[in-house]
Amino acid sequence: MNEKKIKSLIKKISENKISDEEALSLLKKLPYEDIDFACIDHHRPIRTGQPEVIYSEGKSPEQVKEIAKKLSENNDVVMATRASSELFVFLKPFFHKITYNAHGRIIIIGDIPKPVTDKRILVLTGGTTDIPVAEEAAVTAEVMGSPVDRLFDVGIAGVHRILSRIDLLQKANVIVAVAGMEGALPSFAAGLVCRPVIAVPTSVGYGANFGGLSALLTMINSCAPGVSTVNIDNGFGAGYLAAIINRG
């Protein structure tokens, strides 16, 4: 929002020419910032509670830098997903506070906020190879203000591993279960708890895995109630959804 519109809106509110509800409605519909190659939605936090996130793949380092600069002017924390270590090295000189989660391939500009709730999210993986997608989910949820626990490599090929930590599952308010291969982990987890389970199929597996399609089909056909499935390798979407549920 530019200065002129801010002053005009403030004047209308002070003169009782517009209600609080109408003013908020206007804020939600105000224009984005057009920087030629991107249209940055600065008012997304007003509508959804969270700022825009940069999806880095397919963007040049310069484009990511310019978008991140604009977002950081209006937000305490900016997140760039699917980011390479090379992109992090390129961006580091331009930002005072910047960190990189190599496993989750996420760049964080600013500080991860303190949790806004005591309720916890648990992120599970079937195997170690699923950790990049799981970390993407975990960091996303943390940036959105949820405390997150991690429990990796507890797939159903050795169910004693997850059963030995059933206390951790039952303490969680939301579970994110990340798995490739046949993708049975979310169904198994859902059969142990009375909490929502967000299933994340990964592209991990041999030929007939079809790039994660086998796990996706297993998860959307789960016989256990309480399972909701996101797209293949979509850790970000799972973490975002988990945080919304956890804060509800």
Tell me if 235 is assigned to some domain. Answer: yes
- What pLDDT score was predicted for residue 49? 81
Whether 8 maps to a domain, the answer reads no
Based on the fold, state whether residues 138 and 63 are members of the same structural domain.
no
**Is 152 inside any structural domain?**
yes
Calculate mean pLDDT across residues 112-123.
93
Tell me, letter by letter, the H, E, C secondary structure of the chain.
CCHHHHHHHHHHHHCCCCCHHHHHHHHHHCCCEECCCCEECCCHHHHHCCCCCEECCCCCHHHHHHHHHHHHCCCCEEEEECCCHHHHHHHHHHCCCEEEECCCCEEEEECCCCCCCCCCEEEEECCHHHHHHHHHHHHHHHHCCCCEEEECCCCHHHCHHHHCCHHHHHHCCEEEEEECCCCCHHHHHHCCCCCCEEEEECCCCCHHHHHHHHHHHHHHCCCCCCEEECCCCCHHHHHHHHHHHHHC
> Last residue of a domain, which of 83, 110, 137?
110
Q: What pLDDT digit, counting tens, does each position of 57-93 carry?
A: 999 999 999 999 999 988 889 999 999 999 999 999 9
Last residue of a domain, one of 110, 134, 162: 110
Shared domain check, 146 and 66:
no
Residue 238's domain comprises 121-247
Domain presence at residue 20 = no
pLDDT at 5 over 80: no
User: Do 130 and 215 fall within a single domain?
Assistant: yes
Q: What's this model's pTM, rounded to 2 decimal places?
A: 0.85
pLDDT tens for 214-242 read: 999 999 999 899 999 999 999 999 999 99
- The pLDDT assigned to 2 comes to 45
Same domain, 101 and 188: no
The verdict on 49 and 98 lying in the same domain is yes
Over the stretch 37-59, which tens digit does the pLDDT of each residue have?
A: 998 888 888 788 888 899 999 99
Considering the domain architecture, whether residues 146 and 40 belong to the same structural domain is answered as no
Task: Output the domain CATH number for residue 180.
Answer: 3.40.50.1970
Per-residue pLDDT tens over the stretch 209-221: 899 999 999 999 9
